[in-house]
Structure 1
């Protein structure tokens, strides 16, 4: 690789053998390219991230429509009970998935990508089935919203949907690791549109379970064509393009990474999905409907905060030498995108939620506003976790995510009250702000760090 200057700016030239020269999926920014949008999208870090941001925006809009229809078509008791079950399925399916492994090592694999993905699928699905059975065997501890799962047919559906949700989410990790995150919004828009249709169709025939069924039946059905596309086209293409590129991770590398990274990922997803299950166990089904609406909308903002972290992990794994530059760019884009989004939600929440009904606005809007304020410190934490993944510092990931989850859970159990839902949000803001302040010096150091000579030579940039 050589350096030259164009218009007074240094750029790096790639050797002709570098597949990034000929593959448009692996293009990098060049200063002589016209147009801001083209320059942004030519950088895989931003292309992946913007695809995931678009996914969050589109699914957010579909989610608003879904909630609006649900509030009109289903009684609050049914909505609250179904959303408690949905959150339980999401917890079981998410806490057992291995996305952290896929986005970290798929970029560094070629011939063994298929084997790595299948191993993650099999391990995650088996773990989801075991955890789902454990949840079903302890229903008496989880409150009124879950007692109908004691019926064997409902329990079987719960088990199937938990496994399906695990695989559905791991697909997103595969797309992201392959640097084809542009397919994520396509798949999720089809998923979201199908959910909306089923929500209406099932309202008359299944008023008690229609919300849950409309959410997970499309995921079960769509697993087949999406998996066929991944294994039949994208994974073979990735294997061809990356043959001979840089060092490959060994089984020991992956095994050493799994322990701390899995624990950290489990704590992360528990913060998203287990907290609402715990809250549901302490409030009525009707009150849970108001809580879950605010929580679901707030978590859409959280997804935006996660996107650049995931993209940073992928690009840092491709090019360790450029990690500091990618971290700086990701930090700038995070603040640019998230700050106005948070302000819009804080201002608009009391007015927007009136569309769902006055009770939703009066009881859910304050919680949503506070949850929006937690997004910025969360985004800083997730960016630092993205850096730690690239550096294989998985024990620190587990520690950070564990402290954050334990702090939120402990405070939520203390402050949860049916008439003061916003206090739950305040607990989340407080814990995440403290953790973000702790990791900020490390994140800033990562933006200035120079790559080691080994990192420069190990991976083709």
Structure 2
């Protein structure tokens, strides 16, 4: 017999306070690996952006010669481009969830291919540096065997750093990414100051990449010594296992899609700079970077969706629906907030930077269609539909570049944002039927859409 009285059983449960409800919601969110990985990557983006702003804000204070500061910034961009265009983190995010016994081999292979690719592209850049303009040819940072080898070493390190983040994400341990990047960002801030006297001409670049080279060793020791073995033990004999032929088939067009996405972010500012005065380019850059930060939630949820879909293909439809709901819940209020505060927020950089506020407001309107596209691409990665991904990314890149050139107006920067909105809305509308098929519940799991080829059906 129960020792509870009837009165006790009828007593209403006490209502949880706001703090308890918030903690319960947070526990629920973080218990879902789809959202846990995505939030970790969002946190990483926020932390590195804030500490990166501090890094570049302190640069002119300790490196007073504008020419030295400009050369350091330009060389840093060149290293990041070489290391970024050759990174293979897209392959690691997609296939680590489907490996167990061969995870270590896959990671080492991607590291090796990335190293060779970064060295090759970096060497090509150094050999042809005079083609990139008179100013590049005059950079002492890039002349001589020693300077060239240092450039290549930094480009390879940056390639491996990005690949390492892909490994953490694929292993469902994305929480390590903001932790490692916070350590790196704080160390580079310290080195920025410490190297100013001894290395006034190249201290900024050294402060950026020396910590990367050093931290790669202990962080990869954790990956190969602990996390990859744990992943192997936990996933041995579970689910679909991709073959080397499937990985190789994914590589070509998968890389093309990733490179086109990277180019969309990196080429638009270059094209804009060729059409605007240096002053207006500065106003554009501040608004453009802020606008790209708004895309972070969609991109990270897309990566996380790929990982979770690869771990469990049967749950892909449900995971995609959940990711879409979470994207709308997060991005709709953020978009409205950015539109409202942009004219005031940009005053932090100086009164004249308010000229970029209309551009930032228009870029905010592009966030929702971009999010729809990114999540669809995240699901397509699971089904290995890399040709369609490359097509979508190529259309976006070509469309945005063409409209930017057509609409750009020095007096009205917002026309650049109009180009971005128009192209992304058009692509989002075009992919809606395919997205609807992805999110539709299926009686036998998430089978590929009817448009999938027989080869893709075998893979997925």
TM-score by length of 1: 0.82
2:377 aligned with 1:377, yes or no?
Answer: no
From 209, 222, 234, the equivalent of 1:216 is 209
Query: Relative to 1, partners in 2 of residues 1:74 and 1:437: Cα closer, same or farther, differing over 3 Å?
Result: farther
Q: CA RMSD in A?
A: 2.9
Q: Deviations over 1:312-371 (max 9, x none)?
A: 001101111111100000001111122233333333333333333344x24544444443
Aligned pair partner of 1:428 in 420, 423, 429: 420
Question: Conserved in 1, the CA contact under 8 Å of 2:438 and 2:446?
Answer: no
Deviation at residue 130 of structure 1 after TM alignment: 1.5
Match of 1:50 among 39, 47, 50: 39
SS of the equivalent of 2:238 reads: coil
2:339 to 341, 346, 354: 346
Q: Distance in 2 between matches of 1:197 and 1:179?
A: 31
Indicate how the Cα distance of structure 1 residues 176 and 270 shifts in structure 2: closer, same or farther if over 3 A, else same. same
In the other structure, the counterpart of 1:133 is 123
Q: After the TM superposition, which of the residue ranges 166-175 and 47-56 deviates more from structure 2?
A: 47-56
Q: Is 1:65–2:27 an aligned residue pair?
A: no
8 Å Cα contact 2:104-2:224 kept in structure 1: yes
Which of 1 and 2 has greater Rg?
2
Quote how far apart the aligned CAs of 1:433 are. 2.2
Q: What is the CA-CA distance between 1:36 and the residue it aligns to? A: 2.2
Say if 1:77 and 1:286, in contact at 8 Å, map to a contact too: no
For residues 247-258 of structure 1, the aligned pairs below 5 Å read 247-258=240-251
- My pick for the range that moved more, 350-359 or 236-245, is 350-359
Matches within 5 A, 1:362-401: 362-401=354-393
Which stretch of structure 1 is more off in the superposition, 116-125 or 76-85?
A: 76-85
Query: Which position in structure 1 is the counterpart of 2:229?
Result: 236
Distance 2:175 2:378 in 1: 20
C-alpha distance in 2 between matches for 1:254 and 1:299: 30
Q: Is the 8 A contact 1:415 1:424 kept in 2?
A: yes
> Which residue number in structure 2 is paired with residue 15 of structure 1?
none
Distance 1:82 1:347 in 2: 36
TM-superposed CA distance for 1:194, in Å, is 2.1
Q: Quick check: 1:312–1:330 contact (8 Å CA) kept in 2?
A: yes
Aligned partners of 2:315 and 2:446 also within 8 Å: no
CA deviations on 1:231-279 (whole Å, 9 max, x unpaired) are 1111111111111112311111112222221111111111123433454
2:171 alignment counterpart: 178
**Distance (Å, rounded) in 2 between the aligned partners of 1:133 and 1:326:** 43
Residue matched to 1:439: 431
Measure how far apart 1:172 and its partner are.
0.9
Q: For structure 1, which segment, 147-156 or 245-254, has the greater mean C-alpha deviation from structure 2 after superposition?
A: 147-156
CA contact (8 A) 1:60 1:297 kept: no
Q: 2:364 & 2:199 partners in 1: Cα distance? A: 33
Q: Is the 8 A contact 1:404 1:435 kept in 2?
A: yes
Task: Give the match for residue 411 of structure 1.
Answer: 403
Closer/same/farther in 2, CA of residues 302 and 212 from structure 1, 3 Å limit: farther
Check the 8 A contact 1:143/1:281 in 2, yes or no. no
Q: Deviations over 1:141-179 (max 9, x none)?
A: 434663425523554433222211111111111001001
Shift of 1:441: 2.8
Aligned length: 422
**Cα separation, partners in 2 of 1:288 and 1:454, compared to 1, 3 Å:** closer
- Note the residue ranges of structure 2 that are not aligned, 5 or more in a row: 1-22, 449-460
Deviations for 1:95-123, whole angstroms, at most 9, x for unmatched residues? Answer: 21112211111001001000001111111
- Provide the C-alpha distance between the structure 2 equivalents of 1:376 and 1:123, rounded to a whole number of angstroms: 35
**Residue by residue, what CA displacement relative to the aligned partner does 1:35-59 show, whole Å, maximum 9, x if unpaired?**
2222221111111111112222222
Work out which structure has the larger RCO, using CA pairs closer than 8 Å and 6 or more positions apart in sequence. Answer: 1
| Distance across 1 between alignment mates of 2:365 and 2:147 | 37
Q: Distance in 1 between matches of 2:250 and 2:426?
A: 27
Q: Is the 8 A contact 1:257 1:394 kept in 2?
A: yes
Checking the alignment, whether the CA contact within 8 Å between 1:97 and 1:169 is kept in structure 2 is: yes
Closer/same/farther in 2, CA of residues 58 and 329 from structure 1, 3 Å limit: same
Range moving further from structure 2, 57-66 or 221-230 = 57-66
